[in-house]
DNA sequence: ATATTATTCAATTGATTTATTGAATAGAAA
DNA sequence: TTTCTATTCAATAAATCAATTGAATAATAT
């Protein structure tokens, strides 16, 4: 009938199509942390450069990422914060309504961290009062591109050494790329083995930033 | 490397895949208005029953819809309000970052309604003061399943007759299924031709309900 | 029981997607 | 210029998807 409606839904479907592949979603998660070049993205995702480039172009055509050329390299980044929100809602829907996802999460993550994660607002308050050490356990490049205000960058390799220098009573909150990023789970596990009071932030840096909370 | 991350992203991609087809997005928009049976959905979407059924099953596997059987019929509905939010974000991203979408919208819709649409909060206030007549121009089945509190159901066919009974000074606000639903645009155009003070609500019933505003 | 109705299943066709490979481009350095 | 590097383009094979058709199922009515 009305071809306008038809055309419009097909346009919206382009965005859905861009989100229909796990590798592309992983690329988007990396881009939610920081702007990156094609070969960096190929490196962290484990895809070939040509393949990465093609996926990025699909993401660009769907309006999810933008690119700029600087010297030899082409740098990609998310086209806006609305993309972070979209990805977050996608995760939430999958998490709440797909049984396989619930099973996957509970078998891998909940086992590691039986404690409730810490809500953002609570962390904000406690950080204000100086009661808590906030650990960013992502790679340094991502930390440099932006992090929770006051957080210390301690990748997992350096965590044991770092923890040795802390008081026993010190409260620790760890975060990384997103709500299901395993690095933060692992960090909490390591800290608890040392007898420290450690918890995990409910989600990662992109969500923190999206909520308008203080960043550096 | 970590197959957990890989598996998880592939699960999330199932949701994206479900959103990667225009017909499925249209079905979701209908379901955001009201629960419907397979043949109703086939009727409004123009797809064959078998095809509709298959698309619905893909949506169900992706966790976007649920179904219940009553007598002969199987009724489908959205699996939660988070799906409305997801669809809204998808629309927003497409609208903001894809040039083709902007062109499509401005060539078809903005031409029809040069006035700014009315924000939800403003309508809520004016409706409280009894200053405005709110028109729901969707089909009666959708109106019956839920509508903005105080709205009158006037499908386009009955609009002219309805408007004749109104005072000239009466302010009118029309809405339908969503921010790009043409019914509301058409209703505003017809009312203005009659010399009435008519505007369009910024989006449709699902978004109104999602925002927690009063419904009936 | 038999017939009717709504929905789903199964099989088919043509179109689209993914990952791989090797070649082509475009900018920077030698 | 020539050489090198980062990225993109083009061509391919295997896998997946969309729509159609006709048959199968399950709940109701006759």
State what percent of residues in chain B have pLDDT above 70. 98
Q: Could you report the per-residue pLDDT of A131-161, keeping only the tens digit for each?
A: 899 999 999 999 999 999 999 999 999 999 9
Q: Could you report the per-residue pLDDT of B145-162, keeping only the tens digit for each?
A: 999 999 999 999 999 999
CB-defined contacts A:B, below 8 A: 167
pLDDT of res. B167: 81
Q: Which contacts (CB < 8 Å, 24+ apart) does range A91-96 have?
A: A91/A178, A91/A179, A91/A180, A91/B12, A92/B82, A92/B86, A93/B15, A93/B63, A93/B64, A93/B79, A93/B80, A93/B82, A93/B83, A93/B86, A94/B11, A94/B12, A94/B14, A94/B15, A94/B62, A94/B63, A96/B63, A96/B79, A96/B80, A96/B82
Mean pLDDT of B51-64: 96
**Does residue A29 sit in helix, strand or coil?**
helix
Q: Could you report the per-residue pLDDT of B172-207, keeping only the tens digit for each?
A: 999 999 999 999 999 999 999 888 999 999 999 999
Nucleic strand D within 7 A of Cβ A35:
no
Nucleic strand D within 7 A of Cβ B61:
no
* Strand order across the beta sheet in which B171-175 lies: B152-153, B132-136, B171-175, B197-200
Q: B192 to each of B118, B169, B174, how far by Cα in Å? A: 15, 12, 12
Nearest one of B165, B92, B103 to A82, comparing CA atoms: B92
- Contacts with A27 from chain B: Cβ below 8 Å: none
pTM over 0.75: yes
Q: Could you report the per-residue pLDDT of A115-130, keeping only the tens digit for each?
A: 789 999 999 988 888 7
Kindly determine whether residue A16 and residue B20, on different chains, have CB atoms separated by under 8 Å. yes
Contact A43, A90 (CB under 8 A): no
Q: Which residue of A has its CA nearest to B177?
A: A5
The number of helix segments (H) and strand segments (E) in chain A equals 11, 7
Kindly determine whether residue A13 and residue B6, on different chains, have CB atoms separated by under 8 Å. no
Nucleic strand D within 7 A of Cβ B17:
yes
């Amino acid at each position: 009938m009305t071809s306008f409606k038809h055309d419009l839904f097909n346009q919206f479907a382009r965005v859905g199509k861009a989100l229909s592949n796990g590798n592309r979603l992983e690329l988007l998660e990396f881009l939610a942390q920081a702007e990156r070049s094609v070969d960096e993205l190929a490196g962290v995702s484990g895809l070939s450069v040509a393949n990465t480039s093609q996926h990025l172009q699909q993401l660009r055509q769907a309006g999810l990422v933008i690119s700029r050329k600087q010297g030899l390299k082409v740098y990609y980044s998310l086209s806006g914060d609305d993309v972070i929100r979209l990805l977050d809602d996608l995760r939430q829907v999958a998490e709440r309504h797909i049984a396989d996802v619930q099973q996957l999460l509970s078998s891998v993550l909940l086992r590691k961290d039986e404690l409730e994660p810490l809500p953002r607002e609570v962390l904000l308050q406690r950080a204000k009062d100086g009661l808590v050490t906030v650990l960013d356990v992502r790679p340094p490049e991502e930390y440099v591109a932006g992090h929770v205000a006051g957080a210390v960058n301690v990748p997992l390799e350096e965590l044991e050494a770092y923890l040795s220098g802390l008081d026993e009573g010190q409260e620790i909150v760890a975060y990384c790329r997103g709500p299901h990023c395993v690095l933060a789970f692992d960090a909490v596990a390591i800290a608890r083995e040392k007898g420290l009071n450690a918890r995990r932030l409910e989600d990662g840096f992109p969500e923190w930033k999206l909520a308008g909370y203080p960043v550096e």
